[in-house]
């Protein structure tokens, strides 16, 4: 009779342990699935437009540090989107520079004259990029208040 009671107790413990194992397995599976969905969503955003995500992070940081108003956020975001279109046009113009420079650096000897010729060929594109960057910073400064301008300039110095 004692062994029957012991088997009954062991049977109850095994049943409870199996139920606990099943519940924890299901909950951990659900949590893992939820995290996987979040990761998939993040990957989709990354695949769609890495630059848009970068712009969003940059805007969030500016909003947080400079305490931007809604109107300021909208104006700065407009500047960012305009700059993006111009930058994409510049990217195609500069792709040739990288390929030519790569060929030059992989040669057995470095030819300074050829480098100067390549650099001179792409000099207008470099100048346009520098002007675009300066216009961007000027546009952002025009949107900000004097106190925000000081913070923004301090942020730029720390970069």
| CATH value at residue 87 | 1.20.120
CB 77 within 8 A of CB 60: no
Largest CA distance in the chain: 101
Q: How big is the chain by its Cα radius of gyration, in Å?
A: 30
Number of domains in the chain: 2
Question: In this predicted structure, what is the pLDDT of residue 44?
Answer: 60
For the CA atoms of 147, 129, 45, 55, the dihedral, rounded to the nearest 10 degrees, stands at: 0
For residue 36, is pLDDT > 60?
no
For residue 88, is pLDDT > 70?
yes
Answer yes or no: do 24 and 84 share one domain: no
Answer yes or no: do 60 and 138 share one domain: yes
User: What are the start-end ranges of the H helices in the chain?
Assistant: 2-48, 50-66, 70-105, 112-143, 146-158
Answer yes or no: do 61 and 132 share one domain: yes
Mean pLDDT of the region 117-126: 90
Answer yes or no: do 76 and 5 share one domain: no
Could you list the residue range(s) of the whole structural domain that residue 22 is in? Answer: 1-48
Mean pLDDT of the region 100-116: 87
Is 15 exposed, middle or buried (CB count within 10 Å of its CB: 0-12, 13-18, 19+)? exposed
At 39, is the pLDDT very low, low, confident or very high (cuts 50, 70, 90)? low
Answer yes or no: do 31 and 66 share one domain: no
pTM summary value: 0.58
Q: Regarding predicted confidence, which is higher, 108 or 93?
A: 108
Answer yes or no: do 76 and 108 share one domain: yes
Answer yes or no: do 68 and 91 share one domain: yes
């Amino acid at each position: 009779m004692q062994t029957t009671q012991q088997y009954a107790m062991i049977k109850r413990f095994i049943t409870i342990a199996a139920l606990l194992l099943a519940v924890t397995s299901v909950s951990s599976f659900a949590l893992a699935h939820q995290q996987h969905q979040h990761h998939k969503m993040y990957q989709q955003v990354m695949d769609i437009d890495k630059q848009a995500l970068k712009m969003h992070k940059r805007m969030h940081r500016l909003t947080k540090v400079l305490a931007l108003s809604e109107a300021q956020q909208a104006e700065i975001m407009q500047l960012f989107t305009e700059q993006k279109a111009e930058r994409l046009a510049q990217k195609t113009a500069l792709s040739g520079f990288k390929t030519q420079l790569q060929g030059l650096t992989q040669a057995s000897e470095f030819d300074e004259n050829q480098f100067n010729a390549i650099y001179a060929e792409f000099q207008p594109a470099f100048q346009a990029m520098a002007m675009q960057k300066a216009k961007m910073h000027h546009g952002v400064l025009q949107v900000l208040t004097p106190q925000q301008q000081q913070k923004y300039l301090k942020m730029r110095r720390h970069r």
